[in-house]
Amino acid sequence: MKLSAAGLALLKRSEGFKSHTYIDAAGLPSIGYGHRLDPREHYPNGISETEAEVILLWDVHEAEQAVERLVKVSLTQGQFDALVDFTFNLGSARLSGSTLLRELNQGRYDLAANELLRWDHCGADELASLKARRQAERSLWLGGAEAQAA
């Protein structure tokens, strides 16, 4: 499967575009649409939105592959989109060790959808932006239109 236009729109909206390096909520250097910089990557003059979209597509591809590798049950497009956004945001290691994935792979789709909502903290702090993102992912998962407006 591939991330749909709705999934990509949610991801881009949630991340926002930044042309220069910034420190994300987790304290990691990032650029573009939430691309975490590898220590060898440097963009002293920043990047254009077009360059950021190219990087984003590569990062999305990695998240798609992780979801395909880790999920052992069939998914709807909305469920796949929600998981790719989740994995893009938090990383495949977080997905692989999560109750969300365990519930999903046991066929408990509703419980897995609810697990998304538990991932709204950065450290000990609940973040409104993560809360909104997780709610939008859950809406995509359930096939709802609310994700479009989030």
Tell me the per-residue pLDDT of 70-115, one tens digit each, with 9 for 90 and over.
999 999 999 999 999 999 999 999 999 999 999 999 999 999 999 9
Query: pLDDT class for 149, splitting at 50, 70, 90?
Result: very low
Q: Is 137 a residue of the active site?
A: no
CATH number assigned to the domain comprising residue 12? 1.10.530.40
Do the beta carbons of residue 140 and residue 147 sit within 8 Å? yes
Answer whether residue 1 shows pLDDT above 90: yes
**Using CA atoms, how far apart are residues 126 and 105, in angstroms rounded to an integer?**
27
What tens digit of pLDDT does each residue of 57-66 get? 999 999 999 9
150 occurs within a structural domain: no
Q: How many separate domains does the chain show?
A: 1
What is the structure's pLDDT at 144?
64
Residue 59, domain extent: 5-145
Q: Which of 15, 64, 115, 137 is catalytic?
A: 15
Q: Report whether 32 contacts 52 (CB < 8 A).
A: yes
pTM confidence score: 0.93
